Structure 1
Amino acid sequence: MVASGGNQLPRGTPEAFGVASGAVTAFLEAAEATGQELHGFMLLKRGTVIAEGSWQPYEAGRKRLSNSVSKSFTSAAIGIAVAEGKLSIEDAVVSFFEDEVPEQPDPKLSGMRVKHLLTMSTGHDVDTVVPVLKSGETDWVRAFLALPLAYEPGTVFKYNTGATYMLSAILQRVTGERLVDYLQDRLFAPLGIDNSAWDSCPAGITAGGWGLSLTTEEMARFGQLYLQQGMWEGKQLIPAEWASASVSPQIGNGDDPDSDWSSGYGYQFWCNRYGTYRADGAFGQIILVMPAEEAVLAFTSSLSDLSQILNAVWAHLLPALQKGSEPLPNEAQALEALRAKLASLEIAPPAAAIGVRHGGEHAEYLFEDNALGLASLRLHGEDEGCTIVWTLHEKTYAFEAGGEAWAISQWPSAPEVYHAEAKPVPADAAAVGRWQDDGSYLISIRLLDTAYHDAVHVRFEEEGHASITFARKFSVTPLHVGTLQAHPVQAARR
C-alpha cells in the first residue's frame, strides 16, 4: 500500500501486514532494557502504521526539535531546486558568495562544490559550526568561507553541521526564499506537515542543519516519502533520482562492518547495515527506512547510545519485517499483550527516599538574581511536590512539580540551539519532585518539545538557607546558571 497525504496515515494491526505482534513487543522490551530512553515511536509497513506509542509524560502529536533530522529535509530542498534548474551540485560554493569570500581564502576553497556540502566532505577537519560561532561573526557565511581547509574537498568525510547551513544559505541565494518557506508548498503542505517552525541564524537564514520541529508521524511520513522514491499521492515531490542518490553511499565514512556509522554517507543521510538508511538527529531523533522490508521506523528519544536501539531493531524488528507482507493468522493473545504494553509506556519518575525529610515542607525560598529569571521555590506538603515561580518579560509563571506523578506546566528553556545569544522562553515541561536519601530535594524536569532533561537539586543548609544547582542533559545549548543561593521567606515546619 502506498501512503498518501492527509492528517493521518492509515492504521492497521501488525498481523494484517505480515508482522508478529510479539516481535514488536520484544523490540520495546529490549529497547527499554538497554536503559536508553525512548519517548515516542511509529512503525510503518507498506505505508500503514502497525504500531505506535508514547512514553508518558511525552505525548503523540506534539512537535519537538528534530535536531539533525533537519539536515535530510535540507537535502530534499536542494534536490528540488536542482530539478528546477536553480543550481547544480557541481557548482562552486564560492560562486554564490563572491561578495563574502575573504581577500586571502584557503587555496583549496575554490575546489569546494555543492556536492561536498551535501556529503560532509568539505575539507574541514572540524564541524565548522563551532568555529563559526566562536568567531563572533554575525555573518555566518563569511565566517564559514574564512575557515582553513585541512584536506582537498571531496576526499575526507567529516560530519559538518556548518556545511548544511551553507546549503540553506545557497538555496536562499538562488531562490530568493528562506528554506522553510521554499519547502512550504513543495514538501510540507503535501506531506501534511503543519505549522512548520525552523530555527534561523542572526541574519534570518534558516539553520538548515538543525532546528526543525516535527511530530513523530511527520517524521514517519518523510521516511515513507523516501521509501516511495519521492512520490506522494501521485505527485513526484522529490525527483526519484535524487531520492535514490541521497540515501546511497556517496562517500566512505569508515570500515567497521559491524557499525552503523561506517556504511557510507549520502546526501545528508546515514547509510546503515542491512541495506537500510536513516535521518539522524542528536540524542536519538531518528527516521529509519528499511527499503527491502517496505518499512519505516520513526522515534524520538533522549539517547546517549543509539547503537543499542539500532541493535534491538536488527535483533527483533528486522527479522519480523523480513517475513513478507502476507497477513498472518490472528494471534489475539499476542496482539492484546502488545496493546497492553503500548498503553503502559511511561518514563518512571526518579525513586524517592522512604521516610527521609529535611523538615523543609511548606518552606519558601527566594533565589538570588539568575539568568533563567527564577524568583522563588515553595515546597508543599509531604509528597505534594513544589512550585517554582519565575518571570520573563515582566510576566510571572508558576512552574509545578508533582509529588507522586509528572505535572505539566511551563519552564524556561532556550530552544534555539547553537545561538550564543539564545534567551529563555516559556516551554512545556513535565516535572516531579522527590526527597533524596541525603535529605536533599531533587526536581526532575523534562522539556517536552525537546530531548532536554533539566534537574534542580535543592540542598538545605544552616539557618534555613539552601543552595540550588541546575543541570541540563541531552542539549547542545549549555544551561548557564550554576549554583544559586536561596534564602528562606518562612520556615513554617510541619
Structure 2
Amino acid sequence: MASGAAFGFHGLHLTTEAVAAFGELLLRGGLWGDRRLVPREWVELATRRHIDSLPFEDGSDDVDFSCGYGYQFWMSRHGYHGHGAFGQQCVVVPSHDLVVAVTAQGQAQDVLDAIWECLLPSVDHAGNTRDDEILADRLRRLSLAPVPGSAAPERSAKARLDASAEDSALPDGTTVIVDPVDGGWLLRLGSFPNVEVGHGDWRESSPLGRPVVAAGAWQGNMFVAELYVITTPHRVRLVVDADAGTAVARWSTVPLTGPSLALHLRSPLITRPDVA
C-alpha cells in the first residue's frame, strides 16, 4: 500500500518450482537441508485447523474448502493446501510425504479430486518399470495445441489496436505488425521488443524480461495468435483483421496486477497495485 505496508494475504508471483520448494519446506517442518529457516512450532501452528470453513453459498461441492482453515492454509481431506488466485495450489500431505505444486487456470477442487483419486493411492506402491515408461512417454507428449490455420509465409499485416473491448491487454491505438519469418512470425506490438510466434509449434521469447511462448496462424483474413506467460495461468489472444486494419488483444483471465501486458511481462514483476 502507499503507506509502505506489505500485503500479507496475496501478491506472491512464483514459479511452479518455487511453490514446490515452499511446500517441501513446510513438509520438513521449516528445515531446508540442515538449515532451519522457519521454527517448527510456527509451521505446526500455521497448518493446524483454527476455525471452521463453510460450504460455498452457490452449493458447489468444494469439499476441500470445507475442512477448516489455519493461518492462510486450508485444511484438506488429506493434509492441507495453500490456495492461490485462479486455481494455483501448493498441496502438502505429511502422511504420505507428498508435495504437489500446480500452476493452472481451472477449478481448484477438480485438481484436488484428481490428486486424491489418481495420485494418492499410488504413492505407497512401488509400481513397475513398464508403468513408469508409459507415464514418462505420456508426459513427454503432453502439450497445448498450437493455433490452427495456415502459415501463409509471404503474408504480413499491419493494424491498430482497438481497446474498446473490456480488459484489453494493450493500449488503444497500439500499432500491431505481423512480419513473417522462417516457420513463424515476428510480432511487433508498439514499442515492445519483438515477440516470436511459431506456426505449428510454440516459440519462446522474453521481450521485457519474463518469458512468453506464442503460436499463431492465418484463419482466412484473420491472423490469430495465443501468447502464454510461462508459469502463470494467463494468456492473451490476439486477433488481427488484415482487411480492416484493426486488432484486439484479450486476456483469458485478467491478472491481479491489471490488464497491462507490458506490466505482466516485466521482470521482476511489480505486485503492489499502487506502484506504476
What is the TM-score when the length of structure 2 is the normalising length? 0.76
Match of 2:239 in 1: 457
Matched, 1:269 2:73: yes
Q: CA deviation at 1:480?
A: 6.3
| Contact kept? 1:388, 1:400, Cα under 8 Å | no
What is the alpha-carbon distance in structure 1 between the residues aligned to residue 182 and residue 193 of structure 2? 23
RMSD: 3.2
Does the C-alpha gap of structure 1 residues 431 and 477 become closer, same or farther in structure 2, counting only changes over 3 Å?
same
Name the structure 1 match of 2:120: 318
One of 330, 334, 338 as aligned partner of 2:131: 334
Partner residue of 1:345 out of 127, 142, 153: 142
Question: Helix, strand or coil: the match of 1:457?
Answer: strand
Sort the Cα spacing of 1:426 and 1:365 in 2 relative to 1 into closer, same or farther, 3 A: farther
Q: Is the 8 A contact 2:224 2:238 kept in 1?
A: yes
Between 255-264 and 217-226, report the one with greater CA deviation.
Answer: 255-264
5 Å-filtered alignment, 1:112-191, equals none
In structure 2, C-alpha distance between the alignment counterparts of 1:455 and 1:258, rounded to whole Å: 30
Does residue 476 of structure 1 match 2:259? Answer: no
The CA distance in 1 between the partners of 2:71 and 2:160, in whole Å, is: 52
In the alignment, which residue of structure 1 is the partner of 2:218? 435
Q: CA deviation at 1:267?
A: 0.2
Indicate the residue corresponding to 1:292 in structure 2: 95
Match of 2:245 in 1: 466
Is the 1:386–1:403 contact (alpha carbons within 8 Å) kept by the matching residues of 2?
Answer: no
**Which residue number in structure 1 is paired with residue 267 of structure 2?**
none
2:159, 2:240 within 8 Å by CA — same for their partners in 1?
A: no
Tell me which residue corresponds to 2:18. 218
Selected match of 2:194 from 398, 411, 428: 398
Asked whether the 8 Å contact 1:361–1:382 carries over to 2, the reply is: no
Q: Which amino acid aligns with 1:300?
A: T
DSSP-derived class of the 2:193 partner: strand
Higher helix share: 1
Match of 1:362 in 2: 156
Higher relative contact order (CA 8 A, sep 6+): 1
Larger Rg: 1
The residue number in structure 2 matching 1:278 is 81
Q: 1:384 to 1:371 in 2, by over 3 A?
A: same
Q: Percent identity?
A: 27
Q: Secondary structure at the match of 2:210?
A: strand
Change (3 A) 1:362 1:215: closer
State the Cα distance separating 1:312 from its structure 2 match.
Answer: 1.0
Question: Structure 1 residues 406, 202: CA separation in 2 closer, same or farther (over 3 Å shift)?
Answer: farther
When the two structures are superposed, what TM-score results if normalisation uses the length of structure 1? 0.45
1:233 positional shift: 3.3
> Could you tell me how far 1:203 is from its partner in structure 2?
4.1
Q: Which residue does the alignment assign to 1:182?
A: none
Q: 1:266 to 1:383 in 2, by over 3 A?
A: same
Equivalent-residue separation in structure 2 for 1:405 and 1:469 (angstroms): 22
Mark the CA change 1:373 to 1:410 in structure 2 (over 3 Å): closer, same or farther.
farther
Secondary structure of the residue aligned to 1:241 is helix
Q: Following superposition of structure 1 onto structure 2, how do residues 23-102 of structure 1 map, counting pairs within 5 Å?
A: none
Contact 2:186/2:194 (<8 A) preserved: no
Q: Aligned pair count?
A: 250
What's the CA shift string for 1:147-192, capped at 9, x where partnerless?
Answer: xxxxxxxxxxxxxxxxxxxxxxxxxxxxxxxxxxxxxxxxxxxxxx
In structure 1, the residue matched to 2:266 is none
Unmatched segments (≥5 aa) in structure 2: 164-169, 262-276
Alpha-carbon contact 1:283-1:451 (below 8 Å) kept: yes
Offset from partner CA, 1:117-155 (integer Å, 9 cap, x none):
xxxxxxxxxxxxxxxxxxxxxxxxxxxxxxxxxxxxxxx
1:231–1:477: structure 2 CA closer, same or farther, 3 Å change rule?
closer
